[in-house]
Amino acid sequence: MRIGVVPFLFILLSNPGEFWSLVIAGLFVVASITDFFDGYIARKYHMITTMGKFLDPIADKIIVNTAMILMIPIGRIPAWIVAITIIRDLIVDVIRSIASSEGIYIQASILGKQKTVAQIIAVTALMIHYSIFGINAHTVGTVILYVALFLTIYSGIDYFIKLYKSVVK
């Protein structure tokens, strides 16, 4: 479901008006909620699979990073924030793959989950962009985006510390 929303995100780039911004933000929220329920159901009914463990974080990154990239040309997200986010994700994923091939598994931390939640909230608000009920969604999204950036960097550092401790053992 989440990855299936990605093509619809292109509508935001080509039609950044108020109506389409709300529609796309709604689709993005629905996709994000399905992620939560997918994980909840898998854990509750003991349906966790290796493929699910692999695909779930990739699906999150694809939808969030694609949305962020598409908002650069319409001025809703600075390119440098997107670059830091994607570079951090790539570095962590490559190192995680190498560590896994050596039998070292670093469990996802709460920081990574908080990062993802902050990114989803920020991206949703930035997709909406316009004022709703007197609240400027772009301003709210920008503030939360900086929180997400902090969590992106901090969770990346936390991951490296955990990896280092695992290797030193």
**CATH code of 67's domain:** 1.20.120.1760
Task: Of 26-35, 47-56, 86-95, give the lowest mean pLDDT range.
Answer: 47-56
Q: What is the pLDDT of residue 1?
A: 57
Mean pLDDT over the full length of the chain = 86
Number of domains in the chain: 1
pTM of the model: 0.87
Cα–Cα distance measured from residue 112 to residue 115, given in angstroms and rounded to the nearest whole number: 5
Residue with tokens 């909406």: 128
Three-state SS for 78? coil
Q: Which string of DSSP letters, residue by residue, matches 96-113?
A: HHHHHHTT---PPPHHHH
Is residue 136 within a helix (H) or strand (E), and if so which, with residue range?
strand 135-136
> Is 90 exceeded by the pLDDT of residue 94?
no
Predicted pLDDT at 47: 77
Rounded-to-integer distance, Cα 159 and Cα 104, Å: 12
Owning domain of residue 136? 2-168
